Amino acid sequence: MGVKEVSRPKLTFWEQTYVPQIFGGLRITFTHFFRNLFIHIAHRFGRLRDTRAGATIQYPEELRPLMSRYRSRHRLTVRDDGTPRCVGCMLCETVCPAKCITIVPAEHPDPHVEKYPVRFDIDLGICVYCGYCVEVCPEDAIRMDTGILDLAAYSREAMQLDIHELMNPELRKPVSDCDLHFPHQCALAGGDLKGSWEGVHES
Amino acid sequence: MIDLLIKLVLTSFVLFLVLNLAGLHTWVERKQSALSQDRIGANRAPILGFRMFGLFHGIADALKMFTKEDIVPAGADRTLHLLAPFFSVFFALLAFAAIPFGDRLIVGDRVIVLQIANIDAALLYVFAMLSLGIYGVILAGFASRNNLAILGGIRATAQMISYEIALGISIIGVVMVYGTMNLSEMVRAQGQMIGGWIPLWGIVTQPVAFFIFLTAALALTKRLPFDLPEAESEIVGYFVEYSGMKFGMFFLTDFLETIVVACLATTLFFGGWQVPFLAPDGFHFPWGAEIPVSNWLYALLGFASFSVKCLIFLFVFMQVRWTLPRFRYDQLMSLGWKGLFPISVVNIVVTALVLILIREAT
């Protein structure tokens, strides 16, 4: 086994007294202290707004800037008439490594569109945020660009997003009313179909 | 009777000031460390939406300490376990009795000395109290029936032996220069001027002693870079088995001792309540100008001078605490025994020689 000699640097007498290091350290902390104090006071008077006085990001009020490709909570994109772009091809459900997507497709009244999702559920408690569903989608129907990071809930059930929350990222559980423009098996109204194609066809 | 009342007022004044300052110190600690580390610091304890720069965190802390469960470990010595935090706080507070925080106030024909107790051996008294404070620490370690706590207590003892001697010897030089152990007298002696311009403060006459005192005093406060007895983060200190307000009292003691040390450094080395060029009847500047000062303003100026110097010391101590890493156990001992102790002895010899030479010359 090879032996490597590590030469320890010999401290000079001046260094052994700790004095230069102590004062050097104090100089750094004092500089930071007074600089930040000055900037904080300037902020109070509305000056130097673009200079930050600390690296702290005060989270709930202030969000860290996200990269455009950051994978945050999913959403389903919609057509101009308010129906989902999803055509129920099941590619995302198939590719999902965590098997967190559940789709129930149904026949679409428009002959040019094959199917539409009656149900589209994502269990965020299982999702691994790999983004494969976004990549595989042929219709650009699912994206992960909501910028929502505070994904926390008190129960596993509350982590399951249904189509209401996916189509409208502003919604949070519990969703009280179904406002979808197409028939789907809505659990909110006791399983009765709510919404219709009528308004959609007119537009 | 009226004398007793005056003493009572003075005592409550000092207690009020010191305890509040200690409470405020938690805020200073949070904010100052935050600023020097480019952070914002605690600001999440608003009252009615007013954050006040996080000032209310101290109140929140106190509420938390008082309402937390107070646990005495099984098999611990209950009496000693209870006594230890009280010992710590008690002796730290007692030390303030001898510190003069102002000159005197004349009300009617009565002269009120702004000091709780004018003791002739005040210096010895203060150091005795500070040394007794270590008993609280050792008792806490001993009574907890916890190996780590005992080790913390033993570290505290070893640390005390290392710094206490240097601390004691460093101030002998000051005592030699001013020829008194009475802190009031010592402050009064520091009011003289060298050549009419430079005040005869301890820092001028005993600069070496000042730095030794400062180092040893930092060790006395049991805070970084000498926080071996506590060392919350890694090696676990003497108060592991304390919770609730008993822990809070140890915490308070730390801040109290810091304030005592700042007061002592001010009194011994920075002229206590002395304001340069200020005599009881007004300012006498060396270029001949004179500004008369009333009796009340004189007392107030003295107190303000003392407070400002103390606060500056507290500020510097805090900055040192947030700058330096902890000394290793052996480094601390060798610093105390091989560094500070010989230097302070040499300082005494040199001071004695200089004093004799000055006396021969005059």
Contact B32 A26 (CB under 8 A): no
Q: Which amino acid, one-letter code, is at A32?
A: H
Contact B320 A55 (CB under 8 A): no
More confident residue, B296 or B347: B347
Q: pLDDT (tens digit, 9 = 90+) per residue, B235-262?
A: 778 888 898 889 999 889 989 999 999 9
Q: Is residue B124's pLDDT more than 60?
A: yes
Q: Which of B40, B323, B339 sits opposite A29 (nearest CB)?
A: B323
Average pLDDT (B103-114) is 83
Name the pTM for this structure: 0.84
Q: Which residues of B touch A33 (CB under 8 A)?
A: 32, 35-36, 319
Note whether ipTM > 0.95 here: no
Asked if the structure places residue B284 within a domain, the reply is yes
Q: Is residue A203's pLDDT more than 50?
A: no
3-state secondary structure chain B: CHHHHHHHHHHHHHHHHHHHHHHHHHHHHHHHHHHHCCCCCCCCCCECCECHHHCCHHHHHHHHHHHCCCCCCCCCCHHHHHHHHHHHHHHHHHHHHHCCCCCEEEECCEEEECCCCCCCCHHHHHHHHHHHHHHHHHHHHHHCCCHHHHHHHHHHHHHHHHHHHHHHHHHHHHHHHHCCCCHHHHHHHCCCEECCCEECCHHHHCHHHHHHHHHHHHHHCCCCCCCCCCCCCCCCCCCCCCCHHHHHHHHHHHHHHHHHHHHHHHHHHCCCCCCCCEECCEEECCCCCEEECCHHHHHHHHHHHHHHHHHHHHHHHHHHHCCCCCCCHHHHHHHHHHHHHHHHHHHHHHHHHHHHHHHHHC
3-state secondary structure of A109: coil
More confident residue, A153 or A97: A97
A22 near B CB under 8 A: yes
* pLDDT, position B352: 94
Residues 6 or more apart in contact with residue B61 via CB below 8 angstroms: B26, B248
Contact B36 A33 (CB under 8 A): yes
Contact A40 B38 (CB under 8 A): no
Angle at CA A162, nearest 5°, toward A158 and A166?
110
Q: Is residue B224's pLDDT more than 50?
A: yes
Q: At A122, is the pLDDT very low, low, confident or very high (cuts 50, 70, 90)?
A: very high
Locus of tokens 């002696």:
B189
- Residue B268, φ and ψ in degrees, nearest 5: -80, -35
Asked if the structure places residue B24 within a domain, the reply is no
Locus of tokens 């990549």:
A135
Give the Cα separation of A7 and B22 in Å (integer).
47
Q: Using only the alpha carbons of chain A, give its radius of gyration.
A: 28
Q: Is residue B5's pLDDT more than 70?
A: yes
Q: pLDDT (tens digit, 9 = 90+) per residue, A73-109?
A: 999 999 888 889 999 999 999 999 999 999 988 888 8
* pLDDT, position A32: 94
Q: Which residues of A touch B35 (CB under 8 A)?
A: 32-33, 36-37, 40, 53-54
Asked if the structure places residue B315 within a domain, the reply is yes
Residues 6 or more apart in contact with residue B28 via CB below 8 angstroms: B314, B315, B318
Q: How crowded is the C-beta side of B225, counted as CA atoms within 13 Å?
A: 19
* pLDDT, position B322: 92
A12 near B CB under 8 A: no
Asked if the structure places residue B58 within a domain, the reply is no
Nearest to B332 by CA among B254, B208, B231, B233: B231
Q: Is residue A40's pLDDT more than 80?
A: yes
Residues 6 or more apart in contact with residue B166 via CB below 8 angstroms: B212, B215, B216, B336, B340, B341, B344
Phi-psi region of B97 (alpha: psi -120 to 50; beta: other; left: phi over 0): alpha
Number of domains in chain B: 1
* pLDDT, position A76: 93
A58 near B CB under 8 A: yes
Q: Which amino acid, one-letter code, is at B280?
A: P
B→A contacts (Cβ < 8 Å), by residue, are 32, 34-40, 319-320, 322-324, 339
Average pLDDT (B50-68) is 88
Q: Locate B277 and state its tokens.
A: 């060029």
Q: Does residue A76 contact residue A162 with C-beta atoms inside 8 Å?
A: no
For an interface test with B, give the residue of A11, A33, A56 to mutate (most B CBs within 10 A): A33
Q: Which residues pair with B191 in a beta bridge?
A: none
For an interface test with A, give the residue of B29, B36, B214, B312 to mutate (most A CBs within 10 A): B36
Angle at CA B291, nearest 5°, toward B290 and B292?
115
List the single range of A72-81, A110-119, B120-129 with lowest mean pLDDT: A110-119
* pLDDT, position B260: 93
Q: At A202, is the pLDDT very low, low, confident or very high (cuts 50, 70, 90)?
A: low
Tell me how many residue pairs between chain A and chain B have CB atoms under 8 A apart.
44
- Residue B41, φ and ψ in degrees, nearest 5: 95, 165
Residue A192 Cα distances to A173, A183, A187, A201, B9, angstroms: 20, 9, 8, 21, 79
Angle at CA B160, nearest 5°, toward B156 and B161?
125
- Residue A127, φ and ψ in degrees, nearest 5: -55, 140
Q: Is residue B11's pLDDT more than 90?
A: yes
Q: Which of A26, A36, A55 sits opposite B323 (nearest CB)?
A: A26
Residues, chain A: 203
Give the Cα separation of B43 and B31 in Å (integer).
9
- Residue B288, φ and ψ in degrees, nearest 5: 105, -15
Q: Which amino acid, one-letter code, is at A153?
A: A
Contact B36 A29 (CB under 8 A): yes
Give the Cα separation of B312 and B94 in Å (integer).
23
- Burial of residue B229 (number of CB atoms within 10 Å: 0-12, 13-18, 19+): buried
Give the gap in angstroms from C-alpha A159 to the nearest C-alpha of chain B. Answer: 28
Q: Does residue B152 contact residue B236 with C-beta atoms inside 8 Å?
A: yes
Asked if the structure places residue B134 within a domain, the reply is yes
- Residue B246, φ and ψ in degrees, nearest 5: -65, -40
Asked if the structure places residue B10 within a domain, the reply is no
Mean pLDDT taken over chain A: 86
Residues 6 or more apart in contact with residue A101 via CB below 8 angstroms: A92, A93, A120, A121, A122, A133
Nearest to A93 by CA among A124, A74, A120: A120
Give the Cα separation of A74 and A143 in Å (integer).
6
Average pLDDT (B291-316) is 91
pLDDT exceeding 70 applies to what percent of chain B?
Answer: 100
Asked if the structure places residue B266 within a domain, the reply is yes
3-state secondary structure of A143: strand
Give the gap in angstroms from C-alpha A64 to the nearest C-alpha of chain B. Answer: 15
Average pLDDT (B172-183) is 90
Q: At A199, is the pLDDT very low, low, confident or very high (cuts 50, 70, 90)?
A: low
Q: How crowded is the C-beta side of B119, counted as CA atoms within 13 Å?
A: 15
Give the Cα separation of B301 and B316 in Å (integer).
22
A29 near B CB under 8 A: yes
3-state secondary structure of A83: coil
Q: At A194, is the pLDDT very low, low, confident or very high (cuts 50, 70, 90)?
A: low
* pLDDT, position A191: 67
Asked if the structure places residue B8 within a domain, the reply is no
Q: Does residue B209 contact residue B45 with C-beta atoms inside 8 Å?
A: no
Q: Which of A22, A25, A33 sits opposite B35 (nearest CB)?
A: A33
Residue A141 Cα distances to A102, A171, B116, angstroms: 15, 18, 80
* pLDDT, position B133: 86
Range of the domain at B190: 78-361
- CB atoms inside a 10 Å sphere around CB B132: 16
Give the Cα separation of A70 and A131 in Å (integer).
10
Q: Locate A154 and state its tokens.
A: 């008190």
